[in-house]
Structure 1
């Protein structure tokens, strides 16, 4: 380059720098433009277009950094430099940070707007040069076209490199406060409806909400003005390059508001469905806001426009939203996102409270239905299984929970999870820990049978819920049995079979592949209960014992409900299994008829015999239950001497029975049954219903008012300790008083003199009465299943000990198979593996056997 060209270039460059500084430093004065154009053209002619662009951008950056950026961040320094506690104080301040953020954005955007005009001045200068030199050798067009994008990138870079760490938090606070304010405005006039009334979401309201604001900024409502202010802030932040950060901020604010609304609507009331209200609230508030915001920002693109692109195949585009019409694709995606989060939030909330929900079932059915819909949408069934199993082990499967409570919760769990998952896959996973735990409880079988037969659901108070007992399941099972032919695939015609195949769905991935789906779907509540016990025979035996106890305590022969229950059990377990129980009920029916015939016959006989002395006790007071002992469980017997008058009454009854039912005879079980007594005290009386032994004790005091325990025990024919235990019933009621006797172990019992003494002693012995009643309830007239099993298995004890002497040690299966093989004579071995294990466990407790590594061997 020659000296003249160099001097010219330096001169032009100096003038360009001077004019650039004048342009950038001017307060809105763009008059430098005409003077800058020839200088730029001269520099471009010399091939310095790129240098012109880079210098101008560098000057813009320095000016923007020094004049705008520092001032912009200074607005937020008090918050950024504050401690966490002080930041909370900032957040609760009114009009913070909206006033500071709006003012700061307005100032920096004004500065940026002026600099953009300056950039346009340079762009115009470069384009003027290009227009004058069609054969431009230097491609100044590249500089002019890239100048504005590079400036925008420079602005974003400067702001992001100087960004305080707390600025995203400030944006989050801003959008939270604004959206909360918007929600209050929207729901203010509907607070009484609690967002549960359909009127809240009528199109007349939601459409008015959006129609109150147009893109041109004409405000006609408070909500539209608020959206306009939010939209202006979003637009300014986008202009500065904070697009992604801004979207994250208002997205998190919307999600936060949605989560708060779900918690507010759901709460701890499980009797009201909330999912529908949440979905309507999403359309009424967040979607309306987003629609208005996207429209204000110009981001709303209709489906019908060709620029919308391909829609997600998962998106089911609604025909319209209330007050919106046909939504844009962006709004549909927002709708899907918000609904999924609402489903997931409500699902997590309900799963966390699932234990309480099932406790309140079926009143909590709406909450179960909501949870079902949520899981169908999210597919997070495994979360339910893991969380609920953890709750069960921590809150239910503990030593402090009664077996009745566990069974009731299990039944409710079955019903609730059957609603959520009809295939039974997740019930199978959740129910296994409960079944394993219940198998270790000794009273599980008894409680299950009580639930099957007792309308109170197994609660002694009789206050159980209607759904606690299993009688309804027996009824349902009977109906299914009657309609079984309709479910037989062999009888389904070809058209129905084709329809069934079209509706088939595979099991969830969590299903156990070892269990077929068809078998799993056939599992019902009764089947699950039997699976806990292990064998229906054990359940039938327990039912037989409980039925015998119940029938022996009946005094009115009313067994209609028992007959109905037996018929249902016969349908489920088979007639052969319930044959002995049916005979027991027939005995009650025959007893009622025989009892009536004998009492009528005795009455006629007493009237026709002349001169007969009137009996001390009338035959009308005696009702007898006559049982076929071969078909009843073993009866607990106890020697008892009843008063002579009662004994004569029983003898007359037995003689008449022998005359009518020859050659059968009656063998009285005098310790069984109930006696109704009326005790008189100075003109007043008290009525009691007691066991025969209690009646025999108190009736002895008709002979004399005072007895020693030894003498009374001899008269009644029961052991001394049994007398002391039984007579405490009358002392607890205040009928008898106890005093020291001639010996240390002999006591004297005396009848009270007056009714006042009875009341006084009754109050004084209230606790003793409660103890006595509890003890009496524990006594049974029928041998328990365990006692019967132990008695029946005693005959095999010698065989088992002999085998262990010969073989040293044997496993449970080997002992079981050996007994089945060799014990074929009467009585033949017909016990189950579980029954044998129970008997061997008893021998271990008695220290006759011991176990080691799963093998049984003789105790050393």
Structure 2
């Protein structure tokens, strides 16, 4: 008897109570038991020692040594498994010890079929070894059972004995394998399932395509349009009964066999993790393949159909093979999935899906929604650029976010994209505004309440407030069908006119009720539709559920005041009206009526008077020309008919400040204007005309020796070219004096005619005095490197200095200049001040004529100008005097 055995007997405390004969019997039985155990476990399928083994167990149990028998047998079983099972099993994978990562199949420097075969043979070998050891363990259980029957015939604890020993052995197997687990085994498992499932997926995809083509061949045109909705509703059992699926079924059984072996070795979670990872990789690849960069079609239905037709079909077959296909209704765990309240409809084609399959479906769908959501969020900037053509992608994203609830991810990612790609100095204000409008239109589909749109739009609005041309660009988008983008084709998505039209339709659709006024009706509608804000909403912003997402309201919110927008609109309208060569203002009237719906009639009253001036000018012009009974009193070769003139008569008190510069018109034109003014006075006594001679447009036809050219230019350009009718060459000083403008202004204006090859420029006697000469023929023009032939219609005078109306920026600069010294004095005394403090101080102390009545945004714009002029500097939101 060895020392460990003696210790065991001592612990049992029975040696003192035994006789010498009993001790000898125990020693013989124990030694025989140890020898029989070694014989049984050492030889595979050799049960010749079974009779002796059982006899020795009975003898030891008779003396109350059953626990000794269990412990020794399990210890030897563990040693044998570690030596004959685990070591041999891991030895199969030693050639692949350098394999630590298998992201691609190409990473393997071995034959793929070889490692597949090695895995199968290794699992088969250890499975047989484990099976034989389990058979030996059952032999011990049967020995205990037979002894119990001989002694008491009480077999109540026999099942518990068997379960106890089986569980302990399973724990031994799992512990030994886990303790000796090589690093590359998990990687090999992942690769195995990835490769086999890719093969299975390819076959299933081919079957799915064949099924679609066969279905389409047997349908009429109307039924073919519905095939995409039927793909996800295929009967899974039909595919199993299909003869073509037999090969797939073999592959599923092969995978299932590997999973069963791994489960028996204690690798249940590792196996599930491996094939789950492979399934999710396939699903992710499928989502990327279906979605990609195509934003003009919805892909969510196709993804759901593929999940039904491929991974769920495989999982159903696998769970059936593994014996885990307990129906949902018969599940006793009590952890039923909430979306499986109607399992038959939840998993089409399966009458009674298992709880495991239901949970797999939920996992796959959530992963698909989240993957598509992340893909669309990463491309959201491009999607919004393509809106509204990309609206299917927006709808898919909306459904994904409703499923996952990860709206905050969209907000954070999109704000980052905006700051990196849009809110930069290289982007034009027009582009930023167009993207902002498209963002509002796209995101209100996802977020009708505007909670997340508020967060996304905040950095855009802050950035646009710092740009000087923001108001001008907004007004252009409100009044121009191309949104101020000359290269645009009039896409309504680039203009805010459609939003004005929408507001008008809403106004027309509101019915009049005798019992409720409009506010009461809207209050009831809002109350019925109320929902709490999402948890991600900023509580400081307030609820936005009680009003719709108003694009115009959000655009005006950039400016801060509708008065500034109306002021800019009035300035741009004046510029447009003054440059009209006819009285066609139908589009301007329509736009004004739409603006009045949104901004109110009182704020646009001056603009309405301006349009009325155009209508009155048309009537007056017609009446004056009707009084002509004979040709104009001006005569001669260059006489001009009264029919060629059309005057725009304005009420100057209601128009923005008009920029006018003195200019001498040709005598014939001057006489015509004088005669027109006289006839106006006769018909409109006592009113008189005061001409703004530098404003308006002139249509010219220039006849040369070899060509005729037509132009539409400003009066000053017409005056310049008409001076060359009688005199072919002019010095710059003489020409400037004849026209009545400074020499430097002449140099800027005459450059238009030089660029058209009509006038040439040469140096004069005095270096400061240039000589301008008319080019009578194309030959002369070619010598100067410019020119054109034929009849042309060109527009001249489109430089910035040709504006007829003072810009809003210039008007603001003039109005704010009176406060510049006061601001400088404040900063001298206080050192530094924030914007709002400067604004409040001006409101408090500048109450004399003129009183300070500017908005915070106007003051910020003026201070930005002082910073650009290096009179002030801005650091951390504080203004300082420039040192």
Three-state SS of the structure 2 residue aligned to 1:679 is: strand
1:46 aligned to 2:63?
yes
For 1:449-598, what aligned pairs fall within 5 Å after superposition?
Answer: 449-463=475-489, 465-483=491-509, 491=517, 501=527, 503-518=529-544, 521-598=547-624
2:248 is matched with 223
Is the CA contact 1:340–1:378 (under 8 Å) kept in the aligned structure 2? yes
2:803 is matched with 780
Three-state SS of the structure 2 residue aligned to 1:745 is: coil
User: 1:37 aligned to 54, 60, 74, which one?
Assistant: 54
Is the CA contact 1:90–1:96 (under 8 Å) kept in the aligned structure 2? no
User: 1:647 aligned to 658, 670, 687, which one?
Assistant: 670
Three-state SS of the structure 2 residue aligned to 1:737 is: strand
Three-state SS of the structure 1 residue aligned to 2:708 is: strand
2:91 is matched with 74
CA distance in 2, matches of 1:89, 1:329: 37
Is the CA contact 1:288–1:324 (under 8 Å) kept in the aligned structure 2? no
1:201 aligned to 2:231?
yes
Describe the shift of the 1:92–1:605 C-alpha distance in structure 2 as closer, same or farther (beyond 3 A): farther
CA distance in 2, matches of 1:178, 1:207: 22
1:168 aligned to 2:186?
yes
2:5 is matched with none
1:3 is matched with 20
Describe the shift of the 1:520–1:144 C-alpha distance in structure 2 as closer, same or farther (beyond 3 A): closer
> Can you list the C-alpha shifts for 1:427-474, whole angstroms capped at 9, x where unaligned?
111111111111100000000000000001111234353211101111
CA distance in 1, matches of 2:832, 2:548: 41
1:134 aligned to 2:152?
yes
| Distance apart, 1:13 and its partner CA | 2.1
CA distance in 1, matches of 2:157, 2:868: 103
Three-state SS of the structure 2 residue aligned to 1:688 is: strand
Is the CA contact 1:707–1:748 (under 8 Å) kept in the aligned structure 2? yes
Is the CA contact 1:209–1:223 (under 8 Å) kept in the aligned structure 2? no
| Distance apart, 1:314 and its partner CA | 6.0
Three-state SS of the structure 1 residue aligned to 2:494 is: coil
> Can you list the C-alpha shifts for 1:785-842, whole angstroms capped at 9, x where unaligned?
232234445667788899999999995244433456444xxx6654445445555666
Is the CA contact 1:812–1:855 (under 8 Å) kept in the aligned structure 2? no
1:739 is matched with 762
CA distance in 2, matches of 1:489, 1:529: 35
| Distance apart, 1:367 and its partner CA | 1.1
User: 1:279 aligned to 294, 304, 310, which one?
Assistant: 304
Is the CA contact 1:403–1:438 (under 8 Å) kept in the aligned structure 2? yes
1:157 is matched with 175
Select between 473-482 and 128-137 the one with higher mean Cα deviation.
128-137
CA distance in 2, matches of 1:809, 1:126: 95
Is the CA contact 2:714–2:797 (under 8 Å) kept in the aligned structure 1? no
CA distance in 1, matches of 2:596, 2:156: 103
User: 1:28 aligned to 45, 57, 61, which one?
Assistant: 45
Three-state SS of the structure 1 residue aligned to 2:112 is: coil
Three-state SS of the structure 2 residue aligned to 1:95 is: helix
> Can you list the C-alpha shifts for 1:626-679, whole angstroms capped at 9, x where unaligned?
111111111111111111121122122111111111111111111111111122
CA distance in 2, matches of 1:495, 1:291: 54
CA distance in 2, matches of 1:99, 1:443: 72
Describe the shift of the 1:636–1:78 C-alpha distance in structure 2 as closer, same or farther (beyond 3 A): same
1:420 is matched with 446
> Can you list the C-alpha shifts for 1:136-188, whole angstroms capped at 9, x where unaligned?
89999875553332222222222222111221111111111111111100112
Select between 173-182 and 302-311 the one with higher mean Cα deviation.
302-311
1:106 is matched with 124
| Distance apart, 1:2 and its partner CA | 2.4
1:13 is matched with 30
1:288 is matched with 313
CA distance in 1, matches of 2:684, 2:48: 134
Is the CA contact 1:45–1:138 (under 8 Å) kept in the aligned structure 2? no
Describe the shift of the 1:428–1:494 C-alpha distance in structure 2 as closer, same or farther (beyond 3 A): closer
For 1:795-810, what aligned pairs fall within 5 Å after superposition?
Answer: none
Select between 536-545 and 461-470 the one with higher mean Cα deviation.
461-470
Is the CA contact 2:465–2:857 (under 8 Å) kept in the aligned structure 1? no
Describe the shift of the 1:489–1:188 C-alpha distance in structure 2 as closer, same or farther (beyond 3 A): farther
Three-state SS of the structure 2 residue aligned to 1:650 is: helix
CA distance in 2, matches of 1:443, 1:489: 48
CA distance in 2, matches of 1:548, 1:81: 79
CA distance in 1, matches of 2:662, 2:655: 20
Describe the shift of the 1:797–1:329 C-alpha distance in structure 2 as closer, same or farther (beyond 3 A): closer
CA distance in 1, matches of 2:311, 2:296: 27
Describe the shift of the 1:49–1:259 C-alpha distance in structure 2 as closer, same or farther (beyond 3 A): same
1:254 is matched with 279
Task: Give TM-score scaled by structure 1 length.
Answer: 0.90
Q: Please give the root-mean-square deviation of Cα atoms over the aligned residues, in Å.
A: 3.6
Is the CA contact 1:47–1:138 (under 8 Å) kept in the aligned structure 2? no
Is the CA contact 1:732–1:762 (under 8 Å) kept in the aligned structure 2? no
> Can you list the C-alpha shifts for 1:343-389, whole angstroms capped at 9, x where unaligned?
11111111111111111111111111111111111111111111111
1:724 is matched with 747
Describe the shift of the 1:800–1:529 C-alpha distance in structure 2 as closer, same or farther (beyond 3 A): same
CA distance in 1, matches of 2:248, 2:121: 21
Describe the shift of the 1:335–1:26 C-alpha distance in structure 2 as closer, same or farther (beyond 3 A): same
CA distance in 1, matches of 2:269, 2:826: 81
CA distance in 1, matches of 2:285, 2:831: 69
Gaps of 5+ in 2: 1-17, 217-225, 790-794
Three-state SS of the structure 1 residue aligned to 2:662 is: coil
CA distance in 2, matches of 1:99, 1:424: 58
Is the CA contact 1:816–1:836 (under 8 Å) kept in the aligned structure 2? no
Describe the shift of the 1:281–1:58 C-alpha distance in structure 2 as closer, same or farther (beyond 3 A): same
Three-state SS of the structure 1 residue aligned to 2:297 is: coil
CA distance in 2, matches of 1:552, 1:145: 100
1:356 aligned to 2:382?
yes
CA distance in 2, matches of 1:807, 1:108: 87
> Can you list the C-alpha shifts for 1:261-290, whole angstroms capped at 9, x where unaligned?
111111111111111211111111111111
Select between 138-147 and 56-65 the one with higher mean Cα deviation.
138-147
| Distance apart, 1:23 and its partner CA | 2.3
1:430 aligned to 2:461?
no
Describe the shift of the 1:500–1:410 C-alpha distance in structure 2 as closer, same or farther (beyond 3 A): closer
Select between 572-581 and 30-39 the one with higher mean Cα deviation.
30-39
CA distance in 1, matches of 2:462, 2:827: 30
For 1:377-456, what aligned pairs fall within 5 Å after superposition?
Answer: 377-456=403-482
Select between 404-413 and 461-470 the one with higher mean Cα deviation.
461-470
User: 2:206 aligned to 188, 196, 199, which one?
Assistant: 188
Gaps of 5+ in 1: 214-218, 767-771
Three-state SS of the structure 1 residue aligned to 2:440 is: helix
CA distance in 1, matches of 2:520, 2:385: 44
Is the CA contact 2:450–2:544 (under 8 Å) kept in the aligned structure 1? no
1:216 is matched with none
1:267 aligned to 2:292?
yes
Three-state SS of the structure 2 residue aligned to 1:748 is: strand
| Distance apart, 1:92 and its partner CA | 7.5
CA distance in 2, matches of 1:592, 1:762: 44
Three-state SS of the structure 1 residue aligned to 2:460 is: helix
Is the CA contact 1:96–1:174 (under 8 Å) kept in the aligned structure 2? no
Describe the shift of the 1:762–1:317 C-alpha distance in structure 2 as closer, same or farther (beyond 3 A): farther
1:63 aligned to 2:89?
no
Three-state SS of the structure 1 residue aligned to 2:723 is: helix
